[in-house]
Chains A and B, each alone.
Chain A
Amino acid sequence: MVATTETINQVKTTTDKYKYGFSTEIEVDKAPKGLNEDIIRFISQKKDEPKWMLDWRLEAFKKWKRMEKPNWAKVSFPDIDFQDIYYYAAPKAKKKLNSLEEVDPELLKTYEKLGIPLNEQKMLAGVAVDAVFDSVSVATTFREKLSEVGVIFCPISEAIKNHPDLVKKYIGSVVPVTDNYYTALNSAVFTDGSFVYIPKGVKCPMELSTYFRINEKNTGQFERTLIVVEDEGYVSYLEGCTAPQRDENQLHAAVVELVAMNKSQIKYSTVQNWYPGDEQGKGGIYNFVTKRGKCLGENSKISWTQVETGSSITWKYPSCILMGDNSIGEFYSVAITNNAQQADTGTKMIHIGKNTKSTIISKGISAGKSQNTYRGQVQIQKGAYNARNFTQCDSLLIGDTCSAHTVPYINQHVSNAKVEHEATTSKISEDQLFYCMQRGLDAEQATSMIVNGFCKEVMKELPMEFAVEAQKLIGISLEGSVG
């Protein structure tokens, strides 16, 4: 509840339904619409990629053409015409940039409006920002400081050129190209994303943060992020998203892969606030993302924390493959849907190693006419002796035109494993609202407070500055849902 006052002010001052609904006029260098081998060659050439990368992309494209779109999620939307999308758009690089002063001022203004701290303030706060604007990372800060301890944090396109052995070794190793329709598509056309490498025994000295932003009209964004942490390393990675208001749906199909070696730890936090569309759901972002982490080493740990408030459709299941003995997977999620938003989100915990443990805490909040589904799989494979899982799914309904669904899948192949699942569904009670209002809080303040309370267990997992942002978002996204 730290930032509740701020939340309220935010709600009060936000007259536009969507604060970040602006776009920036920047010259854009883009490929023609549609997808074929030539477009892929164009992207690869633009990125100055080595041949092996191009071959990998072309192979993925071949496979993608033979695949079918998944339809098992509880979401509905008009068919996507994949030939009607731009697959490459980049702010025109006038020359190689050495410092922030050389960055397009228009671009910097956009960052400022978003509150993206690519400046000294943030430097003082100790966060390195690798900003992805449309598809190209324009500015990277803190790299020197990070490189002193041997940490690599750069756009993946640079990593492909400068650290080809690492990329080659791990890309596609957690999320195979043909994992699903959208991963194959991403593998063929991904344009940017981040690469993080934490060497053995290094605790990354700062939280790494990337702000994604979709800007160019009709540009699907296909980021690819790869994080590898060697033995006894640690990294906390923050991902935050906003997007300008658009009339046509924008497709976003990212792939995130995490690899954790012995006794290492990766904490991946997301606040997602993409344009959810208007009250009828028109014009929002389609967010079809595949995120997966592999606890390859013993005693390793991967934690996903997400606060999902945006997008018209969210299809996302950050997962953990617990291979190393004693490894730990965690998933903390808040998913808020309002108006016509649809979210089908959850996680997969695949227990392979002995004594592996996983925890799933999912909080779904639905308002308006929205649909909110938790879909989670817990798999205890043969050999995963003494594996443990605890799952808790709580749904909160605001009003009576929304719905919440919980779909757990449990596959257990070991007799001494223990899998617990708890699920609750509640409505914001009239008693609670009345109680808060009797103390002078208006309906929106009261709702925001009750909902933030409901999400407490997840919010406390977020890094401090993210938690503040996330609380504001909760207030904004439930605007107009009560009273």
Chain B
Amino acid sequence: MPILEIKNAELSIDNKKILKGLSLNVNEGETHAIMGPNGSGKSTLSYMLAGRDGYELDNGSINFENIDLTPLSPDERSNLGLFLAFQYPVELPGVSSTNFLREIFNSRKKYLGENELSHLDFIKLLRKVAENLSIKDEMLKRYVNFGFSGGEKKRFEILQMALLDPKISVLDETDSGLDVDALKIVSEGVNNLKDKKNAVVVITHYQRLLDYIKPDIVHIMSDGKIIKSGDADLALYVEKNGYSEILNEKS
């Protein structure tokens, strides 16, 4: 079953074409990796998927379980089950992390027509999920992403992912700024959430993350398009030979 189908996506920002006919299909149970050099349009792709203002398609289509995503706002897309782990998570001063998490958790439950959790029940659940990601109570008392270290921010993203239990998660450069230990925790977190019904798209510059999150399919993105797809070995090839060979091959 396809979860996400992107067909010939074209998108420009400030009259500059960034995505130039990108197509991608992601099925249930799959883990995809999108690799590519800087400036190839990887982050634009993630914003486009999440429905950020100013990232509307010029041409092409995006479907999520056969629903056209293009007219939907970011919160509607999120409610359908699309999650974006940000490359640079945003600080919300004064907003306590615990309350923020409860708010988004209950908002998702409400959308799904499930019972919202009481404060106490939510705290119990949160403690459990947070522990798996080595997130201490103390961190949850702080304001959202405010003064968090790079590693804390990324773990907090995965914590939100775990609570929202999305159908598809797009991880935008989640490995950037992480040391090996943090990388392991984050990857384990992602792997634990993975099942046959959902899908993960990992956007990354380096192969390193893919040692921990094993992709089924690897795509090489360049100049706004996917130029080559293959299995996990493709990532290793890139790691060894760099992007230039593949890019040259195409031109």
Contacting A at CB under 8 A, from B94-140, are 94-96, 99-100, 102-104, 106-108, 111, 116
Encode contact with A along B70-82: 1 for CB under 8 Å, 0 otherwise.
0001110111000
Name the CB-closest residue of A to B145: A435
Contacts of A446 in B (CB 8 A): 75
Encode contact with B along A300-330: 1 for CB under 8 Å, 0 otherwise.
0000000000000000000000000000000
Query: Would A1 and B103 count as touching, CB distance under 8 A?
Result: yes
Q: Is B143 an interface residue (CB 8 A)?
A: yes
Q: Is B52 an interface residue (CB 8 A)?
A: yes
Q: Is A453 an interface residue (CB 8 A)?
A: yes
A-B contacts, 14 of them at CB < 8 A, read A1-B99, A1-B103, A2-B99, A435-B86, A436-B92, A438-B50, A438-B75, A438-B83, A441-B104, A441-B107, A443-B73, A449-B92, A449-B100, A452-B95
Q: Is A236 an interface residue (CB 8 A)?
A: no
Query: Would A449 and B95 count as touching, CB distance under 8 A?
Result: yes
Q: Is A386 an interface residue (CB 8 A)?
A: no
Contacting B at CB under 8 A, from A175-230, are none
Taking the nearest CB of chain A, how far is it from the CB of B13, in angstroms? 14
Contacting B at CB under 8 A, from A419-473, are 429-432, 434-443, 445-446, 449-450, 452-457
Q: Which of B52, B79, B95, B164 contacts A434 (CB 8 A)?
A: B52
Encode contact with A along B51-95: 1 for CB under 8 Å, 0 otherwise.
011000000000000000000011101110001101001111111
Query: Would B94 and A453 count as touching, CB distance under 8 A?
Result: yes
Taking the nearest CB of chain B, how far is it from the CB of A427, in angstroms? 14
Query: Would B90 and A431 count as touching, CB distance under 8 A?
Result: yes
Name the CB-closest residue of B to A442: B75
Contacts of A2 in B (CB 8 A): 99
Encode contact with B along A1-42: 1 for CB under 8 Å, 0 otherwise.
110110000000000000000000000000000000000000
> What's the Cα separation between A454 and B83 when bound, in Å?
26
Query: Would B53 and A456 count as touching, CB distance under 8 A?
Result: no
Query: Would A1 and B84 count as touching, CB distance under 8 A?
Result: no
> What's the Cα separation between A432 and B143 when bound, in Å?
13
Best-surrounded residue of A434, A439, A443, A454 (most CB of chain B within 10 A): A439
Considering the complex of A and B, which 10 residue pairs feature the smallest CB-CB distances, nearest first? A453-B94, A456-B94, A1-B99, A453-B95, A437-B74, A435-B90, A440-B78, A439-B104, A437-B75, A431-B90
Q: Is B198 an interface residue (CB 8 A)?
A: no
Name the CB-closest residue of A to B47: A434
Query: Would A430 and B104 count as touching, CB distance under 8 A?
Result: no
> What's the Cα separation between A430 and B53 when bound, in Å?
9
Q: Is B187 an interface residue (CB 8 A)?
A: no
Query: Would B143 and A453 count as touching, CB distance under 8 A?
Result: yes
A437 and B73 in contact, given A430-B53, A445-B107 (Cβ under 8 angstroms): yes
Query: Would B94 and A434 count as touching, CB distance under 8 A?
Result: no
> What's the Cα separation between A2 and B95 when bound, in Å?
10
Binding site for B on A (CB under 8 A): 1-2, 4-5, 429-432, 434-443, 445-446, 449-450, 452-457
Name the CB-closest residue of A to B54: A430
> What's the Cα separation between A436 and B116 when bound, in Å?
19
Q: Which bracket fits the contact residues of B?
A: 20 to 34
Contacts of B222 in A (CB 8 A): none
Q: Which of B83, B86, B100, B164 contacts A1 (CB 8 A)?
A: B100
Name the CB-closest residue of A to B95: A453
Taking the nearest CB of chain A, how far is it from the CB of B87, in angstroms? 12
Given A5-B103, A445-B103, 6 more A-B residue pairs with CB atoms under 8 Å apart are A432-B90, A432-B91, A437-B75, A438-B78, A449-B103, A453-B93
Taking the nearest CB of chain A, how far is it from the CB of B163, in angstroms? 9
Contacts of A457 in B (CB 8 A): 94
Query: Would B93 and A454 count as touching, CB distance under 8 A?
Result: yes
Contacts of A429 in B (CB 8 A): 90
> What's the Cα separation between A440 and B160 when bound, in Å?
11
Query: Would A440 and B53 count as touching, CB distance under 8 A?
Result: no
> What's the Cα separation between A435 and B79 when bound, in Å?
14
Q: Which of A432, A441, A455 contacts B103 (CB 8 A)?
A: A441
Contacts of B52 in A (CB 8 A): 434
> What's the Cα separation between A449 and B99 when bound, in Å?
10
> What's the Cα separation between A436 and B104 when bound, in Å?
8
Taking the nearest CB of chain B, how far is it from the CB of A379, in angstroms? 31
Q: Which of A5, A431, A454 contacts B94 (CB 8 A)?
A: A454
Name the CB-closest residue of A to B160: A439
A5 and B106 in contact, given A436-B92, A453-B93 (Cβ under 8 angstroms): yes
Taking the nearest CB of chain B, how far is it from the CB of A439, in angstroms? 4
Query: Would A441 and B92 count as touching, CB distance under 8 A?
Result: no
Query: Would B78 and A453 count as touching, CB distance under 8 A?
Result: no
Contacts of A445 in B (CB 8 A): 103, 107
Taking the nearest CB of chain B, how far is it from the CB of A341, in angstroms? 23
Contacts of A443 in B (CB 8 A): 73, 75
Query: Would B92 and A440 count as touching, CB distance under 8 A?
Result: no
Contacts of B73 in A (CB 8 A): 437, 442-443
Contacts of A5 in B (CB 8 A): 102-103, 106, 116
Taking the nearest CB of chain A, how far is it from the CB of B159, in angstroms? 11
Name the CB-closest residue of B to A363: B94
Contacts of A430 in B (CB 8 A): 53
Contacts of B89 in A (CB 8 A): 435
Contacts of A449 in B (CB 8 A): 92, 95, 100, 103
> What's the Cα separation between A239 and B93 when bound, in Å?
28
> What's the Cα separation between A106 and B86 when bound, in Å?
55
> What's the Cα separation between A455 and B92 when bound, in Å?
12
Contacting A at CB under 8 A, from B181-232, are none
Taking the nearest CB of chain A, how far is it from the CB of B75, in angstroms? 4
Taking the nearest CB of chain B, how far is it from the CB of A365, in angstroms? 12
Taking the nearest CB of chain A, how far is it from the CB of B88, in angstroms? 8
Contacts of B116 in A (CB 8 A): 5
Name the CB-closest residue of B to A434: B52
Contacts of A4 in B (CB 8 A): 99, 103
Query: Would B92 and A435 count as touching, CB distance under 8 A?
Result: yes
Taking the nearest CB of chain A, how far is it from the CB of B240, in angstroms? 35
Name the CB-closest residue of B to A4: B103
A455 and B94 in contact, given A437-B73, A437-B74, A438-B74 (Cβ under 8 angstroms): yes
Contacts of B94 in A (CB 8 A): 452-457
> What's the Cα separation between A430 and B52 when bound, in Å?
9
> What's the Cα separation between A205 and B127 when bound, in Å?
38
> What's the Cα separation between A220 and B83 when bound, in Å?
54
> What's the Cα separation between A445 and B103 when bound, in Å?
9
A439 and B93 in contact, given A1-B103, A4-B99, A449-B100 (Cβ under 8 angstroms): no
Name the CB-closest residue of A to B85: A438
Query: Would B78 and A437 count as touching, CB distance under 8 A?
Result: yes
